[in-house]
A and B are shown apart, each in its own frame.
Chain A
Amino acid sequence: MTEVVITGLGALCHLGAGVDSFWKGLLDPAPPVATQAPDPLAHVPISNFYFLPEGALPPWPTAVDGLAVGDATRAALSVTREAVADAGLGTLDVGRTSVLLGTSIADAYVIERWRAGEGVPADDSWTPVFSTASVVAGHLGARGAASTLSNACSGSGYSMAVGADMIRAGEADTVVAGGFETYSRVAHAAFNQVGALDTASCRPFDATRGGTVLGEGAGAVVLERAESARARGARVYATLTGTGWSCEAYHATGLDPDGTEIVRAMREALREADTAPDDVDFVVPHATGTRLNDLVETRALYEVFGERTRRLPLYSLKALIGHTGGASGGLATVAAALFLHHGHLAPNLPVATPDPDCPVHVPVSGGTPAGRTAMVNSYAFGGNNMSLLLRGEPR
């Protein structure tokens, strides 16, 4: 099978803009402080949110080729440009480069602001809010497919998996993939109403956890055919060796308590990568801090990795940056790629009151060896699951 490697990274979240800010934030983790959504029309019981820091995102462009765009597209532009620059791709092979981006709600807030009477356009032209990949591809100079996907909180994972398949199928040589999510009144209200939010903080695997805290973010990677990346002397963060796709087909928002399909996704990724469970060195779990998700994912990890799960290092990213929706898998993959590249995991934020029903290993000390093989899990409303397997370069 054609090898697909990750050669560029881009990150944006509560910790700041850029991979350097992200990495520094991971290495020196501080409990995040949620702020209230600065949206007087958002009448919701829980308004905590992890917003991007002031200045992390420029307020422009506000329109691209006549299409109004908002923070979501600006966030995607920020991380994809960074990833392409990081990959050392001064010029893209325009016809052989595609852009695939996942999101839950895209630029819905553009419409929400209009709905609230703010800056309503005089023009009556259709404004498709899921145009982000088109805008990004236009800016990057990519002329392959420019596809905006959803798949909610596993959107990034799917964009990378589909992107890798495009390369393997010969449809593209390079794919800029990832995901993005910024504030939306509707999404925040919906998460409130389904009871998925914690009033204090996002505390995966903690016995006192009550839900997640939403955050803004975007994460992107550059995927390349390994042969061409190595031929041009590109820095390779990791090889995307396996992708495991599955669908719960069970409930609109909840995981199947049996965990059957998330187990299958993990096993499919391992099978495709021709990797044994014992060879996985660490996992970046989906771990949202909701009661059911963490419990089911823990059981699924035991199903796949057996008793070794007790000592298999997990990196619980959402405890630090919140749940960034469609960006979460992208940022998790950026984190995993950085760990593999640097050879060690970042310290987790401590789990204050470990849940006895979630007996997992969340190391808080720095320097946990990353080894060579990482798994990244993403799950979503609608039951869309994706597990990715990454193999680091030999050290």
Chain B
Amino acid sequence: MTADPVVTGIGVVTEAALDPGCERRKGWFDHRAELGRGYKYLPRASQYLLAATARALADTGARLAGVPEHHRAITVGTNNGVSELQGEFDRTVIEGDSTLLSPATVPYFSVNLVGSRVAMEHSLKGFSLGVHSPRVAGLEAVQHGVRALRAGRARWLLTGAAESPLDRSEPGAGDGEDGAVALVVEEAGEVAARGGRVHGRVRVHSFLLPPPVAGSPGGRERAERLLATAFTALGVGGRRPQVWLVGGDDAVTGTVGAALGEGAIEVPAGAGCLGPAVRVAELLREAFTEQLVIGVAAQGNVSVAHVVPTPR
């Protein structure tokens, strides 16, 4: 049973993190340099997540070997992590046939493999869960993972999000996200016992504000009630931390924004679930006080992440 899950490791693999000046001529991510040999045929989202995981593990300053394999788990959100791969597969089947598909890559048609590949790499045998709700999957991955830790289904959790660009055949392809975030979550007591560093705590509450409801005359009031319930569930109560609203140009985001009122910082989201997860990771590293990250999808999904950084 993990009564008090805390974040002890953070890994962010995005262009902004790895190549902020856009100076790398061969692209911002070099799988060979990051991962070594043997990873060439993995989908990019998987490569990113492996690299982010390596960074998060190093960031904990602890050895994973100390955690029994069946107590290690992974929950990862992705929306488009195998979109390109599925597009390539489909064109191969349409123009040729299925026997031309790469045997090494073909299992990755199944989107849960993005996280499962990390499980294989680090013997995460407790459980592996793929989460894919639009935009909020990365935050929901934290929610489902932390709950499972508290239920005693594992003691050590790798959670986060991974995306790679949408296949060129999909609408919105130009807006796809690219990168991964990995967070290591452990029991506070165990971390304290080894003298480890705690970045902070993250708790997530999710709800649905359907687009027709958001767009209705009572939509704002409904959003206010759902947000109030979320804040209560997260223990925010009457406090009003800084809010980061990560969403798109849609009715649901607009209504949630209106319900939050002034003060919320709006962060434009791309196509994927990476944006909210990146913001959580950044706040864990940089913020001094509690914050709220709210991911919103046009389809109505809303996840509220309460981020409480360790006092610096």
Give A contacts to B, CB under 8 Å: 41-45, 65-67, 95, 99, 104-106, 108, 111-112, 114-116, 121, 123-128, 130-131, 133-135, 137-138, 142-152, 155, 158, 162, 165-166, 168-169, 171, 185-187, 189-190, 192-194, 245-253, 261, 264, 380-384
Contact = CB atoms under 8 A, between A and B. Distances in A.
B206 A384 contact: no
Interface string B112-136: 1101110110111111111111110
B132 A41 contact: no
Contacts, number: 261
Contacts of A168: 151
Kindly state the interface size class of chain B when it binds its partner.
35 or more
A43 B125 contact: no
A134 B79 CA distance: 14
A247 B124 contact: yes
Contacts of B80: 128
Given A151-B130, A194-B106, A169 B91 contact: no
A169 B123 CA distance: 28
Contacts of A133: 133
13 contacts: A44-B93, A104-B112, A105-B110, A111-B169, A143-B226, A144-B207, A145-B303, A147-B140, A150-B111, A186-B109, A190-B110, A247-B124, A261-B125
Contact of A106 (B94, B103, B108, B132): B132
A264 to B, nearest CB: 6
B31 interface: no
Nearest to A151: B112
A134 B147 contact: no
A247 B109 CA distance: 19
B217 interface: no
Given A150-B110, A186-B93, A128 B171 contact: no
B110 A381 contact: yes
Given A108-B86, A165-B147, A249-B119, A147 B131 contact: yes
B132 A130 contact: yes
A171 B147 contact: yes
A45 B70 CA distance: 39
A134 B169 contact: no
Interface of B: 69-70, 73-74, 79-80, 86-87, 89-91, 93-94, 96-99, 101, 103, 106-113, 115-117, 119-120, 122-135, 137, 140, 143-144, 147-148, 150-151, 153, 166-167, 169-172, 174-175, 205-212, 225-226, 229, 233, 271, 297-301, 303
B36 to A, nearest CB: 19
B-side binding surface: helix, strand, loop or mixed? mixed
A121 B172 CA distance: 11
B207 A383 contact: no
A95 B135 CA distance: 21
Given A147-B206, A245-B126, A251 B120 contact: yes
B101 A127 contact: no
A43 B93 contact: yes
A169 B150 contact: yes
B202 to A, nearest CB: 16
Contact of A95 (B86, B107, B113, B207): B207
Contact of A162 (B79, B125, B129): B129
Given A130-B111, A148-B133, 12 more contacts: A45-B98, A126-B271, A144-B208, A189-B93, A190-B107, A245-B126, A247-B74, A247-B125, A249-B119, A381-B107, A382-B128, A383-B128
A189 B151 contact: no
A262 to B, nearest CB: 11
A383 B119 contact: yes
Contacts of A43: 93-94, 96-98
A158 B129 contact: yes
Which of A143, A152, A250 lies at the interface centre, i.e. has the most chain B CB atoms within 10 A of its CB? Answer: A143
B101 to A, nearest CB: 5
Given A149-B132, A162-B144, A165-B151, A245 B86 contact: no
B94 A116 contact: yes
A242 B135 CA distance: 31
Which of A106, A128, A169, A382 lies at the interface centre, i.e. has the most chain B CB atoms within 10 A of its CB? Answer: A128
A147 B129 CA distance: 12
A153 B46 CA distance: 20
Given A123-B171, A147-B144, A67 B299 contact: yes
B299 to A, nearest CB: 4
Contacts of A251: 120
A380 B172 CA distance: 31
Contacts of B69: 249
A189 B112 contact: no
A250 B124 CA distance: 10
Contact of B116 (A148, A158, A382): A382
A137 B107 contact: no
Given A151-B112, A190-B89, A171 B233 contact: yes
